[in-house]
Amino acid sequence: MKSPKLTEDRLQDAVRFIESNARQLDRRYYEYFFEDASSKDVLSELSKYQNKDGGFGHAIEPDFRMRSSSPMATSVALQYYTGVDGPEEEELIERAIKYLIQTFDVEQKYWPATTMEVNDSPHAPWWHLREVKRPQGADWANPSAELAGYLFKYPYYVPEDLLDTLSDIVMDYVEMHDYVDSWLYNVMCWERVYYCFPTPLRTKIEQMIRATFQHYRPMQKDTLNEIRIFWIAPHPTSLMAQVDRDTVMSMLEEEIDNQAADGGWWPTWRWGQYEEVWPTAEKEWAGKITTEALRGLDSFNMIRGRNGW
């Protein structure tokens, strides 16, 4: 009979894969959740991706390799930071928030994901820029909604007038969208940070996210494409898990079957360019995805011999 949980042997295969292939950052991230390692070890590795301007780069997002800072790369860094409950008063987060304040386009009311400099380093074709411009409609959320949430999470460093401006922008977005269309990446940005916003704004955002998941039910594997279910629903309290837990559990069982023979979970996409660099990015992604897969499965108590976290 098929086991609905990852077996201990396959867990060890995944652990060996992480030890052999993952970046130091993702190894420390795994150790934080599975071996009771200190968050300081994660933050020490994370700081290596931070630039003098406070932003993050250095291919922390493996699909674009530019060393200089970008708001998108900084959003990835803050996912790690919040993932280990990084302290509110810490030089790393203070510098990151100040970078985000400096890069917010006050006139256009958004954060550009990257700069034109992204074209000068190896990158996936979807990151290539012809111009830097404000995303339209629901696409504003990626990454601006997520970054706005981080400013509300760490308000100590943020001018009050900027928080007021962001609150107005977010309220306008929510009032214009009963649910999030173009939805996958956009709704993930909202899901990561909705709890950071003050009420009643938080309540309205939560209603929009729930309505989005309801709108796209029943969730199918083809609906997600390259997205993994543990990105949308990383833990049982995730809104997606609250709206449609049965589908989340079913898709997590499918992810157990997606583990490769080498123990890893690999990206399902390719660049189709920069063939000399793609293997490096692919392996970095595999280490990151494998760590996230184990964390997601563990949180839903789907690893045999463990009790979740």
β-sheet bridge partners, residue 105: 110
pTM confidence score: 0.96
Q: pLDDT for 235-287, tens place per residue?
A: 999 999 999 999 999 999 999 999 999 999 999 999 999 999 999 999 999 99
Task: Specify the pLDDT at position 2.
Answer: 52
Give the pLDDT score at 308: 47
Pick out the chain residues at pLDDT < 50: 1, 308-309
CA distance 70 to 66: 9
CA angle at 233 for the pair 232 and 235, rounded to the nearest 5° = 145
pLDDT of res. 1: 39
**Residue 139: which of 193, 89, 185 has the closest Cα?**
185
